Structure 1
Amino acid sequence: MPPLLQRLHAARGSSDPAQALPKLAQLLPPDTLGGLDAAVRLLDAAIAADRHIVVVGDFDCDGATACAVGVRGLRLLGARRVSHAVPNRLRHGYGLSPGLVEDLAALQPELLVTVDHGIACHAGIAAARARGWQVLVTDHHLPGDALPPADAIVNPNLRGDAFPSKALAGVGVMFYVLLALRRYLCDRPDREDPTAAIHGRTARQHRPDLSALLDLVAVGTVADLVPLDRNNRALVGAGLRRLRAGQGGAGLRALIEVAGRDPATLSAADIGFALAPRLNAAGRLEDMALGIECLLSDDPGHARALATTLDRINAERRAVQQQMTEDAERALARIALDGTLPPALCLFDPQWHPGVVGLVASRLKDRVQRPVFAFAPAQPGGDALRGSARSIPGLHIRDLLAAVDSAQPGLIERFGGHAMAAGLSLARAALPRFEQALHLQAARLLDPALLQAELLSDGELQPHEFDIAHARLLRDGGPWGQGYPEPLFDGEFAVSAWRVVGERHLKLELDHHGRRLDAIEFGGWDGTPPPGRVRLAYRLQPDDYRGGDAIQLVAVHREPA
């Protein structure tokens, strides 16, 4: 491993290449993941009896990829009657709700498998069980005080679960269920392979290749911003290798194409900033069924048509998000008139779209360095509000909501989430009480030191490291992501020239030890020309626009030197 990568991985806790770039052979075994035995028996019985299995997805990228993994994986393992469904954000709300159960009755399911949700869906699961359906919950969100009445639950974050990695995304949990099911089906000498009559082989001889699902696992894991611990890096790294080799599914290949990315150099950042937003846009503005259909398509032409539609919806989402963000910034200016801000922000606009409030909360959270809650009407003109929250490192946002719920029982109708993101529902009339309770609990739980934004740098690059070889090394030396951050460097540079591009971005020509360097700061134009000498926090990347051996610095922070 080159010295620069050795230094970067060591700073992130990886002391050798096996830790830094884990392979699939190092993947944690399923043995200690609680609930797998019951889940496997449930699925085995359903497959053997040819029951109708319906995989119920969710309307974000993790839920969509988990749904596609569930459908594809169960079919690989011999299930012949597998369908899928996904709630509509506006009509059903989050997860397996009683309303969704009522709509699912037309499919006549016998076993429901929830992916990326279910741990908080008490009423929906009870409604499904009342109809005589079995329910398997696969989820990674934190449970409440009581578990739902499902037939089996697989969730690494259940109390007492011994699985070493609590960071699995919803798609990772479903993948682990399939790994355990394959082992159960293939290692039992008394269990006939469902395809044995066709292929003339026994179950022990036939082990379906579940690695074909790893492209989906990688996309869902990166998109959900779960920490890329060693186990998740093994999953994401394997999925990226498949995508770079052109072995991904037709849907993901089409999304890479419409996003203008080169599959041969695809990175986790490309997933996070190009693929995931296009999938998420369907669930935010329209129906995630479109995104799941794209992921399940094996026809390149059909997949390309669906990906093009997703690209169009994503462009609409960007426009809606821009308008909502501008509204939120004006509201922020009014709140901060006296020069102070509360420990947590609570924003609401009756014209906002409930599918985009999470993006607004995320954008404002980065600006004000404190938790942000953004609310919109669940239905246009309705009295029920849908909220989304984003937090800062050091404050567990679901714990904050639990504290509010404990102090004001019944105020929040429903909530769930994890450390950095959460969702909730409450009545519009309850918003002032919620805001007051939120401020009280945030002030109690939040360490004031966390309100100071902090950038962690990997130090300075040496002059000889500003070249295309090191830029590619940094791009390909990951995967980088949440909890295992993309390398960030700092240094002082002379500004030789500058110009504004795209109205909001700042293009810089820099001089560093006599060498000319190009840099760009996205969203960096604030109307004030940069000084002659600056200190930058930046990432070194290949300049794909100019191509060849061109490199550029992508500045994430700039201040006078």
Structure 2
Amino acid sequence: MSAAPESALPRILRRAAVSVPRLPDDLHPVVRRVYATRGVHSAQDCDYGLQRLLPPDGLLGLDTAADVVAKAIADGRRICIAGDYDCDGATSTALLVRGLRALGAAQVDHVIPDRFTMGYGLSEALVDAARARGAELLITVDSGIANVSGVAYAQACGLQVVITDHHLPGEVLPQADAIVNPNQPGDCFPSKAMAGVGVAFYLLAALRARIGRDRLAIADLLDLVALGTVADVVPLDHNNRVLVAQGLARIRAGRACAGISALLEVAGRDAATADAATLGFVVGPRLNAAGRLENMGQGVECLLSDNPAQARSIAATLDQLNRARRDIETDMVEGADAARLIPDAVGLCLYDPSWHEGVVGLVASRAKQQAHRPVIAFAPSNDAGWVKGSARSIPGLHIRDAIAAADRAEPGLIDRFGGHAMAAGLSLRESALQAFAEAFDAACRRLLSDADLQASIDSDGALAPAELTLETARALEAAGPWGQGFPEPVFDGAFRVAEARIVGECHARYTLAPSEDPQRRLVAIDFGGAERMATPGQAVETAYQLGVNRWRGEEQVQLILRHLAVR
């Protein structure tokens, strides 16, 4: 296919209306409509009670893993959790350390790879770090499924290895003592979308049954599961929505661990109104900042702390790191256009030798949103002559498959790669960058259609003037958690601008009058929209989310604009 022009304005596509009579009668009518278009077809589908969690039947390797870990606990062996340097890895690590200690493990420690010196996953260096701590049983979280040599090295050193992971496996599986991964061959667990922290939670549940501590409330650890699940941007299928909803309920009730409470506090957010977006855009980035700029060990220590003062101190450091990360990201994003290896590519590869390795994933995300193209952003690695890339995709392209296709077309360019449908990582020699960029672009041209390259916003339709109320906004908020694969509702409508002003330097705040009710006035905010601000008197087409604006104890309905175009 030929390269389609990059579109400045997205199309608004309305979801098809669906009537589902089996949904509860007491649901708000707008929530009923929204649920129906997202595959929620019964009362059970919108029930997020713990009893609705999928049973572990079919989760291949879970019984064996539970037996191995239970025996290690009974024998008093030293257990070490091998984590990862992102939010999913940090929450998974903290979850298992807390959970295993609660289940009676006398000696539980953890190691986190350094992004810049060890790289991702179970490397020999990470194994050596675990051995230095006296590890006898190594449990990986959010990694391990692709670390064939790392597992073999650990076992050659006398360690047992249990893998818990959710990433897609390669052609060869590690010869671990047990593997728990819903995406491994032969696994029959219905949910393939769990994050690493969800897999770790299922292992804890199985362990509790083995050890016979049925009254142990491992559900109190669901705040960690919710944070890791949302931050890893995995699809929120029903099982994941249960995990997130239950974790959020504990956070709102003031029952979060000291670390999550502290991260909310330094961000100036009220735990009582936390939602999935709060976890994904407020808490997660502050935790991730440690792994991006320094070492995720600080993040794990924050989540493991039971001392509120200590947790606040670590959270303040993480907040400062996040501010520094934002500054670095801003500078990198400003140079993204000049960093294109092939200017008119369908599959974009970006590289600048001055870029920071820990922030390229965020640059790829920004570039993907702006160009509506799959993007891989590269930065020099700690090893001279090598680069590391972070990939982000658009709907219609499985990014790991596209990288694999480029690898098949030009064997030997990539050193290693792995990831999901929407995000992946890889490393290669700097000298191979241009050839890889050409192979990746060719793969994307084969796999994407012109329609895939046209940005669009899926809308749940128009809201009648009588539905533009605080009651509707509250009902939609309560109907979550919303997220990847279960998107927060977006509506479209025509308005006339009554007032417009810039707030906070780069945001546009409006007072809008609905075309169908010109005497009505609604507040709207367009984050980052100062440069495209409409002026009073203009008619505009919009796509928006209906939110609740809380300020000094008062609540007001507010339109959060996702798209605005002057008619």
TM-score normalised per structure 2: 0.92
Work out whether residues 21 and 478 of structure 1, in 8 Å CA contact, stay in contact via their aligned partners in 2.
no
Question: Structure 1, residues 453-483: CA drift from partner, whole Å, max 9, x if none?
Answer: 1111111122122222222222221111110
Work out whether residues 148 and 172 of structure 2, in 8 Å CA contact, stay in contact via their aligned partners in 1.
no
Which whole-Å CA distance do the structure 2 matches of 1:24 and 1:134 have between them? 32
How many Å apart are 1:527 and its aligned residue? Answer: 5.7
Higher relative contact order (Cα pairs below 8 Å, separated by 6+ residues): 2
Matched, 1:123 2:129: no
Question: Structure 1, residues 164-207: CA drift from partner, whole Å, max 9, x if none?
Answer: 00000000000011111111222xxxxxxxxxxxxxxxx5xx53
Match for residue 254 of structure 2? 246
Work out whether residues 267 and 476 of structure 1, in 8 Å CA contact, stay in contact via their aligned partners in 2.
no
Q: Describe how 1:455-534 pairs up with structure 2 within 5 A.
A: 455-512=457-514, 513=517, 514-526=519-531, 529-530=534-535, 532-534=538-540
What is the aligned residue count? 537
How many Å apart are 1:357 and its aligned residue? Answer: 0.3
Question: Matched residues, percent identical?
Answer: 54
Which whole-Å CA distance do the structure 2 matches of 1:104 and 1:139 have between them? 18
Work out whether residues 375 and 388 of structure 1, in 8 Å CA contact, stay in contact via their aligned partners in 2.
yes
Matched, 1:88 2:114: yes
How many Å apart are 1:335 and its aligned residue? Answer: 5.7
Work out whether residues 348 and 376 of structure 2, in 8 Å CA contact, stay in contact via their aligned partners in 1.
yes
Q: Report the AA paired with residue 349 of structure 2.
A: C
How many Å apart are 1:546 and its aligned residue? Answer: 6.3
Match for residue 326 of structure 1? 334
Work out whether residues 21 and 233 of structure 1, in 8 Å CA contact, stay in contact via their aligned partners in 2.
no
- Which residue of 542, 549, 552 corresponds with 1:543? 549
Work out whether residues 100 and 108 of structure 2, in 8 Å CA contact, stay in contact via their aligned partners in 1.
yes
Q: Describe how 1:261-276 pairs up with structure 2 within 5 A.
A: 261-276=269-284
Q: Describe how 1:1-16 pairs up with structure 2 within 5 A.
A: 1-16=27-42
Work out whether residues 87 and 287 of structure 2, in 8 Å CA contact, stay in contact via their aligned partners in 1.
yes
Which whole-Å CA distance do the structure 1 matches of 2:195 and 2:532 have between them? 41
Which whole-Å CA distance do the structure 2 matches of 1:545 and 1:412 have between them? 51
Match for residue 388 of structure 1? 390
- Which residue of 220, 233, 242 corresponds with 1:225? 233
Question: Structure 1, residues 282-331: CA drift from partner, whole Å, max 9, x if none?
Answer: 10011100000000111111111111111111111111111111111344
Which whole-Å CA distance do the structure 2 matches of 1:21 and 1:274 have between them? 26
Which whole-Å CA distance do the structure 2 matches of 1:182 and 1:546 have between them? 44
Match for residue 46 of structure 1? 72
Which whole-Å CA distance do the structure 2 matches of 1:453 and 1:50 have between them? 56
Q: 2:139 aligns to what SS in structure 1?
A: strand
Which deviates more, 468-477 or 142-151? 468-477
Question: Structure 1, residues 365-390: CA drift from partner, whole Å, max 9, x if none?
Answer: 0111110000001128x211110000
Match for residue 185 of structure 2? 159
How many Å apart are 1:274 and its aligned residue? Answer: 0.3
Which whole-Å CA distance do the structure 2 matches of 1:432 and 1:549 have between them? 53
Which deviates more, 15-24 or 81-90? 15-24
Match for residue 191 of structure 1? none
Match for residue 351 of structure 2? 348
Which whole-Å CA distance do the structure 1 matches of 2:100 and 2:410 have between them? 43
Question: Which segments of 5 or more consecutive residues in structure 1 lack a partner in the other structure?
Answer: 187-202
Which deviates more, 296-305 or 8-17? 8-17
Q: Describe how 1:147-296 pairs up with structure 2 within 5 A.
A: 147-186=173-212, 207-296=215-304
Which deviates more, 517-526 or 109-118? 517-526
Match for residue 199 of structure 1? none
How many Å apart are 1:260 and its aligned residue? Answer: 1.3
Work out whether residues 137 and 152 of structure 1, in 8 Å CA contact, stay in contact via their aligned partners in 2.
yes
Which whole-Å CA distance do the structure 2 matches of 1:491 and 1:78 have between them? 57
Matched, 1:553 2:559: yes
Match for residue 114 of structure 1? 140
Which whole-Å CA distance do the structure 2 matches of 1:370 and 1:547 have between them? 42
Q: Report the AA paired with residue 239 of structure 2.
A: N
| Over 6 Å off, 4+ runs | none
Work out whether residues 110 and 130 of structure 2, in 8 Å CA contact, stay in contact via their aligned partners in 1.
no
Q: Report the AA paired with residue 418 of structure 2.
A: G
Q: 2:109 aligns to what SS in structure 1?
A: strand
Match for residue 101 of structure 1? 127
- Which residue of 426, 429, 432 corresponds with 2:431? 429
Question: Structure 1, residues 255-289: CA drift from partner, whole Å, max 9, x if none?
Answer: 11111111111100111110000011110011100
Matched, 1:444 2:470: no
Work out whether residues 342 and 437 of structure 2, in 8 Å CA contact, stay in contact via their aligned partners in 1.
no
Q: Report the AA paired with residue 252 of structure 1.
A: I
Q: 1:542 aligns to what SS in structure 2?
A: strand
The RMSD of aligned alpha carbons is 1.5
Work out whether residues 467 and 549 of structure 1, in 8 Å CA contact, stay in contact via their aligned partners in 2.
no
Q: Report the AA paired with residue 386 of structure 1.
A: K
Which deviates more, 544-553 or 344-353? 544-553
Q: Report the AA paired with residue 69 of structure 2.
A: L
Q: Report the AA paired with residue 128 of structure 1.
A: A
Q: Report the AA paired with residue 202 of structure 2.
A: Y
Match for residue 370 of structure 2? 367
How many Å apart are 1:503 and its aligned residue? Answer: 3.0
How many Å apart are 1:5 and its aligned residue? Answer: 1.3
Matched, 1:24 2:50: yes
- Which residue of 135, 140, 154 corresponds with 2:166? 140
Q: Describe how 1:66-85 pairs up with structure 2 within 5 A.
A: 66-85=92-111
